[in-house]
Chain A
Amino acid sequence: MLGKGVVGGGGGTKAPKPSFVSYVRPEEIHTNEKEVTEKEVTLHLLPGEQLLCEASTVLKYVQEDSCQHGVYGRLVCTDFKIAFLGDDESALDNDETQFKNKVIGENDITLHCVDQIYGVFDEKKKTLFGQLKKYPEKLIIHCKDLRVFHFCLRYTKEEEVKRIVSGIIHHTQAPKLLKRLFLFSYATATQNNTAADPKNHTVMFDTLKDWCWELERTKGNMKYKAVSVNEGYKVCERLPAYFVVPTPLAEEDVQRFQGHGIPIWCWSCHNGSALLKMSALPKEQDDGILQIQKSFLDGIYKTIHRPPYEIVKTEDLSGNFLSLQEIQTAYSKFKQLFLIDNSTEFWDTDIKWFSLLESSSWLDIIRRCLKKAIEITECMEAQNMNILLLEENASDLCCLISSLVQVMMDPHCRTRIGFQSLVQKEWVMGGHCFLDRCNHLRQSDKEEVPVFQLFLDCVWQLVHQHPPAFEFTETYLTVLSDSLYIPIFSTFFFNSPHQKDTNVHQRQLSLPLTQSKSSPKRGFFREETDHLIKNLLGKRISKLINSSDELQDNFREFYDSWHSKPTDYHGLLLPHIEGPEIRVWAQRYLRWIPEAQILGGGTVATMSKLLEMMEEVQSLQEKIDERHHSQEDPQAEPPCLLRNSARLSSLFPFALLQRHSSKPILPTSGWKALGDEEDLAKREDEFVDLGDV
C-alpha cells in the first residue's frame, strides 16, 4: 500500500549521490499522517522503562551501499535505549525472529552503547554535544558495538527534531549519577526471580564458601586461606568482602595499608606455584613513612619467600609493560577502521587495509599481552615459580594478565561456566572499574579504556587458534562484549563489589548468559541459538591437566617446544604470537558492514554442517541404543536448527536482515548512461520472456 518513489536531494555526508529512495514520499506522509500513526508499530518497553521523547517521519538510511535507501519511521528515546520503529515491519519472517536478540532489537541502541553523535549541517559533519543552537538535518550515531546509524530529520517537524536531538544528546552525553542508571529502575520493576540452576552455576565469589571451593579446586588450600577480614568493607572499599591470602599472613597486615601491599591469591597451578597480585603502596614523600612501608614490605616478602612457598618473581605491570593510555589510543584508532559512515569511505580505506590496521597497533598490543601471559605461564609451569603481579590498584592489567594466564593454564576456565566464574573472580571481584572504564556515567572520557575488551580480544585469539579447546565459541565472546553496554545486567556497571553492594540491595543478575531458561525475557538469545554459542565439541573437556613439561629456562624454548608437540586441548594452551597469527576478530568488528557479508558462506557454513553431522551421529547412536533395548517407534527427526533457514550469511547471527532483497530500487544514475528508457524497457521485456519460458 505504501507507494515507492524517488525523493531527490538526500543529504549524505559527502553527498556522493544526489538521490536516495524511500518507501514513502513525504507528501504522502503528511496527508496520511493519522493513518500512519494509527498503524504504527508498538514500542516494546522493558519493566521500568519510560518513554522520554519521540519524533515521527524520521528516515533511517539503509547502508547497503552508497546509494541511500531509507525507511520511514519513528525515532524514540527512552531511559534505556534509542529505538527506531520502522513503518514497514512486515519483512520479519521466521528465521529472523528466531535469532533475534531478546532485549535489543535490530534498531535499538542502549544509551550506554552510544559512542559518538554527529550532526550533518549543510553537508558538513560535526560532533554534537551540549546545548545546540541549530539542529542538524541528519543525525549519525556511532555505537560502541560498532554499529553506525544514519537518521534523516529533514521531513520531521521542527519541534520534534529539537526534542529528540536534545533528548538524545542529553541522555547519552551528559554526566549522570549512578543512581540514575536504568539498572535500578529495571531492578525495582522486576521481581527477584533468578532461580539459579545449581548445576549450571557460575561461581560469584561473593561468599567465603566460593573462595574455599576455588582453593580446593586448584589445590591451593595447603598454603593459602580465604579471609573475611574485609567483611562489610571494614578494611577498604576496593577489595571484595572475601579474598584469599597466604596462610601465615596476619590480618593486621591486611588492615595496615587498607589492603595495599599485601599479596592476594589469584590461582594455583597443579605444581603448587601460584599467581598472586598486589596493589602498590601509596606513594609517599616522607622518608619516615617510606621507611615504614619498606619494612612492611620486607616483612611481607619474608613471609612468602620462605618455604613452603616457591620462589617469587615480581612482574611490575605498571612499569614499562603497557600503559592504559596506549590501549586507549590504539583502540580509538582501530575502531575507526570499522565505524564507517558510507561505503565510499570504506572503499577508500580498504586499499590500505593492512597498513592502517598495523598503524593502529591494536593487534600488537594483543600480541604483547599474550606474550606477557606466556612468559608468566613459563615461569609457573616450567620453573615452578610464584608470580606476583604488581600494579597501582591491581585492577586493570592485573585482571587482564591473571585471567589470560588462567585461560591458558586451567582448562576449567575454557568451559563456559568456568570462564564466567573467572570473569567474576578476576574482574568483578577483582575490582575492575567497569563504570569508569566503559564511561557509563559519561563523567570522564580520559578514564574510558577498553581493558576488558582487550581481554576478550586476547581470548578470541586463543579461541580462534584452538577452537576445540573451548566450550564456547566466538559468538559467545561477541555477545559478552555487547552486554557491557546493556544496563539490565549489574555485572558490568560498578567499579567495585563495594559500590555494587551499597547500591543494590537485592542480589541481582550475573552474566547475561547464565540466565535460567524459564524466563523468556532474561536469556540473551532464544534457546535454539545456544547450540551455536556453546561449542558442542567443547563438551568433551573434562580431563584435568595431565602432564608437566620438562624444565625449560627461557621463554622461546618453552614456546617453541610447546608448539612443536601435539596440542592437548585439556592441558596447557599457548597461543601463536607470530606476525601472521594475530588476527582481527572479524565477527565482532565487521558484522555490521554489509560489504563484508558473504551470503551462504563463512564459518557458519561449516558450523551448520557440523551441527547436521552431530545430529546424525546422535540419531544413529539412538538407533543403536534402541536395538539394544526394544523395537520402538523410530525417533522423530531431531529439530533442524539451520537447515530450514536457506542460505545464511557469514555475518550470522548478527545481520540476518541484511539481504540483497532489502534494497528496493536501483539508483538511476547507474543506468542513465546506458541508454534511454525505451531501451531499458525493451531489454526488460526480453528478460521477462526468457524467465517465463
Chain B
Amino acid sequence: MWWGGRGQSFNIAPQKEEPEMGSVQGSRMPELRSRHLSGCLASRCLPGEQILAWATGVRKGLEPELSGTLICTNFRVIFQPCGWQRSQETPLSSEYDFALVNIGRLEAVSGLSRVQLLRPGSLLKFIPEEILIHGRDFRLLRVGFEAGGLEPQAFQVTMAIVQARAQSSQAQQYAGITLSKAGQGSGSRKPPIPLLETSEDWETERKKQGARGWRVSTVNERFDVATSLPRYFWVPNRILDSEVRRAFGHFHQGRGPRLSWHHPGGSDLLRCGGFCTASDPNKEDIRAVEAMLQAGHSDVVLVDTMDELPSLADVQLAHLRLRALCLPDSSVAEDKWLSALEGTRWLDYVRSCLRKASDVSVLVTSRVRSVVLQERSDRDLNGLLSSLVQLLSAPEARTLFGFQSLVQREWVASGHPFLTRLGGTETSEEAPVFLLFLDCIWQLLQQYPAEFEFSEFFLLALHDSVRVPDTLTFLRDTPWERGKQSGQFNSYTQVYTPGYSQPPAGNSMNLQLSVWDWDLRYSNEQILQFHNPGYDPEHCPDSWLPRQQPSFMVPGPPSSMWLFSRGALTPLNQLCPWRDSSFLLAVSSRWLPRPAISSESLADQEWGLPSHWGACPLPPGLLLPGYLGPQIRLWRRCYLRGRPEVQMGLSAPTISGLQEELFHLQELLRKWTPRISPEDHSKKRNPNTILS
C-alpha cells in the first residue's frame, strides 16, 4: 500500500509504469501533448493550460532524491519525476503539483548563503541552484537544478513562476479552467452531493430532518433579500414570505433567522445575523422577528456566537504564526517547541470552538427549545459552530455523505466568503475560518476514532482542495456570484440581478461541478482512503432512533428566554433590542463576567437537574469533545508536511491491515461457500460502495 507506515503526505506517489500492468493502463495515452519537451516529459495539459518554461532538476529533502523536470504553466507548477507517469484521472493531486494560488512563498537558493525571497514581480538576482516552493497548504517542494550548461533553463523556469504568480494573483482568470476528465462531462451528470441550489434539494433535506414546522421559503429566489443568502432557506410554517422579507430587513446584511438543523428530539438550531440597531421596526415586524426566533418553542436561547471565540483577525494571525512555526527551517529549538506552539494560539482557538460547540449541542439536546446562533455577519463563525454542533449531535453528519452535505449547506450555500477568507481577493479580510473548522473536526476524529465514516485523509483532501481552482465551490464569496458564474440563471433572464452579465459561453456545463466531485482530482485508489476503517457500523445512523417528536408548536410568547454567553445562561427580558430603548443585546454581552465556576460545564448544569436521560444521561449519538490542554493536539499530518522527517512513520495502519486480511478471508470463504456471503455483515462497510 502506498502509505506503508510512512505516509509523508496524503498524495499517492504516481504509479511507476510497469509493462505487466498493461491491462490497467491501456487507456493511458498521452493524447494532449501540447509541447514536446522530452521523452520523459509527457505531461498532459488541461484545457487552456500552457507550458511557460521547464528545467530538469532533482527533488530534494526526502529520501530518495528523485530526478525529473520542473514545469511551470500558466496554472500551476509541476515537478514530474523521470520515468514516472501520472495517472490520467488525477491532474492536480500529485504530491508535486502546486496550483499557483497555493504557492505561499518562493525562495531561490544559490550556494550556502544566498537566498532570495521571490515575491510576485520581483527579479531574480542570480542563477538558482535550488528552488523552494512553500505551499499555503503546508507542503514544501525543494528542487535542485543540475549544473552543466542548464543554468539558463533554471533561471527561466524560476522567473516564469514568479511572473505566472504575479498574473494569477491579479485576477481570477483560472476560474474558467475546468479540470473535467477528458471525454466525460455530460450535462445529465448528477452531482454527488445535493448542491442546494434548487428548492427541491431544500425540501428533500427538510423532510429528511423531519422538520415539520418548517417550510422552504422562496423569498430570496431572485437574491433581492440578500445576495449572500441562498436562494432558498427554511422558515417557520406560519410566517408569510412578506413577513420574512420585512423581518430580514432588520438584520445585518439582511440575514434573518433561518433553520440550520432540526434535532430529532424536537429542538431547532437557528442562525442569524446581528440585529440592525439603527432600524426602527414597527410592532408587526418585531412580532415577526420574535416569532421567527422563537420558532414555536416556549424556551428560546440566544447564543452570542462571537463571545469567547477568536475574531477573524485572530484566526488569520494564528494561522500565519502556525505556518511560520511549521516551516522546515523554523528556528525554534526542540525544547522550546511547546511554548512556541502555544504562542501561535491556534490550538487555543480550536479548543474554544470545540468548547462552545459542545455547550451549544448540550443546549440543543438537553431539552426541547429553539437555539439561535447569532453572529453579526452570520457568515463565518455561525457556520463553524452550527456545523460542529451537528457533527457532535447527529450521527448522520459523521458519514461521508452527511458531512459533505453539511459543508455544502452550512458553508457553501450559506454564503461563507471563501474567496475572501482564503486570501483570494486583495482585501485584508483573509481568515481561514474553514481551515480552523477542519482542524476542529480532526480533533474530534482523534478523540472518537470509531464515530466518523470519513478519515483523516478525507479531511486532508478537503483541506488541500480549498485552493484548487477547478470548481467554483470555494472560489466565490456568495451563492449569487457562484450562480452567476455557472450560468444557472439562464432561465431567469428577466430577473434583476445587480451586476449581472452574460456568463461566458460554452463552459456553463462544466461549472456545475463541485468540489465533491472527487474523481476530478483524486484517483479511485485515493478516494478509497477517504473511508475510515475504524468506523463502527454499530453506531451507524439507522441504529440511532430518535424519540418521537410531539407537535411542539406552542402559541403565545416564549415562557423563558436566555442569553448564552461566557459559558452560562442569563435570563433575557426580551428577544429583540428594539422595543425598549435599553438595547439589551446591541450593547453586546462582553461585559458579562464569566462565572467563577468556569469548570462546571454546561452539560452538568443542564443534565444535573432532572435526570431524564436515565442512568447514563448522554443521549446516544451525542459526542462531547474533550477540550483540555492535553487533549487538543497538533494536526501533524497536515501542518508538518513540509518537514518530512516528522512525517515518517506517522501511521501504523493496523486496522487497515486487518481489514485487508478480513476481506481476503471473506473472499476466500465466498469462493468456497457462496451461501455465506449474504449475511456477511462486513459487506456493509465495503469501501467500494461508499462514494457511489
Contact = CB atoms under 8 A, between A and B. Distances in A.
Interface in A325-350: 343-344, 346-347, 350
B341 interface: yes
A301 interface: no
A667 B631 CA distance: 27
Contact of B652 (A468, A675, A683, A684): A468
Please classify how large the interface on chain A is, using the bins under 10, 10 to 19, 20 to 34, 35 or more: 35 or more
Contacts of B655: 606, 609-610, 613
Contacts of B550: 689-690, 693
B638 interface: no
Given A576-B648, A660-B607, A670-B600, A367 B334 contact: yes
B181 interface: no
Nearest to B620: A647
A343 B599 CA distance: 6
A531 B628 CA distance: 30
Contacts of B555: none
Interface in B590-617: 596-601, 603-605, 607-612, 615-617
Best-surrounded residue of A64, A67, A600, A667 (most CB of chain B within 10 A): A600
Given A660-B616, A670-B600, A358 B338 contact: yes
Interface string A611-643: 001101100110110010000000000000000
Contacts of A690: 265-266, 367-368, 547, 550, 552
A578 B334 contact: yes
B342 A675 contact: no
Contact of A354 (B610, B629, B643): B629
A580 B337 contact: yes
Interface string A65-82: 111000000000000000
A363 B299 contact: no
B278 interface: no
A666 interface: yes
A413 to B, nearest CB: 19
A598 B451 CA distance: 12
A563 B648 contact: yes
B615 A606 contact: no
Contacts of B609: 666, 671, 680, 684
Contacts of B654: 467-468, 537, 610
Given A66-B597, A565-B63, A673-B570, A617 B652 contact: no
B449 A666 contact: no
B63 A683 contact: no
Interface in A357-401: 357-359, 361, 363-364, 367
B366 to A, nearest CB: 9
B610 A598 contact: no
A595 to B, nearest CB: 6
A574 to B, nearest CB: 10
B450 interface: yes
A415 to B, nearest CB: 17
B608 A596 contact: no
Interface string B572-604: 000000000000000000000000111111011
Interface string B632-658: 001010001001111011001011001
A590 interface: yes
Nearest to B550: A693
A20 to B, nearest CB: 13
B617 to A, nearest CB: 5
B658 A66 contact: no
A511 to B, nearest CB: 26
Contacts of B623: 600-601
B672 interface: yes
B186 interface: no
A610 to B, nearest CB: 6
Interface size grouping (class) on chain B: 35 or more
Contacts of B265: 690
B618 interface: yes
A599 interface: yes
A608 B658 CA distance: 13
A181 interface: no
Interface in A676-693: 679-680, 682-684, 686-691, 693
Interface stretch (B29-37, B425-433, B660-668): B660-668
Main secondary structure of the interface of B (DSSP, over half): loop
A605 B597 contact: no
B298 interface: yes
Contacts of B23: none
A130 to B, nearest CB: 34
A322 interface: no
Interface in B316-352: 332-339, 341-342, 347-348
A687 B266 CA distance: 11
Contacts of A16: 596-597
A687 B652 contact: no
Contact of B571 (A17, A608, A613, A674): A674
Contacts of B332: 579
Contacts of A584: 630
A682 B610 contact: no
B448 interface: yes
Contact of A579 (B299, B338, B603): B338
Nearest to A21: B608
Contact of A609 (B534, B562, B604): B534
Contacts of A674: 562, 569, 571
Contacts of B607: 660
Given A354-B338, A627-B672, A616 B662 contact: yes
A595 B628 CA distance: 8
Contacts of B676: 623
Given A17-B597, A674-B571, A598 B338 contact: no
B342 A606 contact: no
Nearest to A590: B630
Contacts of A542: none
B669 A663 contact: no
A525 B634 CA distance: 34
A466 interface: yes
Contact of B449 (A466, A605, A691): A605
Contacts of A343: 599-600
B652 A467 contact: yes
Interface in A568-591: 576-581, 584, 586, 590
A95 B102 CA distance: 52
A308 to B, nearest CB: 35
A605 B665 CA distance: 24
A599 B570 contact: no
Contacts of A466: 649, 652
Contacts of A680: 609
Given A566-B6, A579-B332, A595-B599, A601 B448 contact: yes
B536 interface: yes
Given A350-B629, A564-B63, A602-B447, 18 more contacts: A65-B600, A346-B599, A353-B630, A354-B347, A354-B629, A564-B644, A578-B646, A599-B624, A601-B447, A601-B448, A606-B449, A616-B662, A623-B669, A624-B668, A661-B615, A667-B600, A674-B569, A688-B610
23 contacts: A65-B601, A344-B598, A352-B342, A576-B646, A590-B630, A595-B628, A600-B451, A601-B623, A605-B536, A620-B665, A620-B669, A624-B665, A624-B668, A660-B618, A661-B616, A666-B605, A666-B609, A670-B605, A671-B609, A675-B571, A682-B559, A690-B265, A691-B612
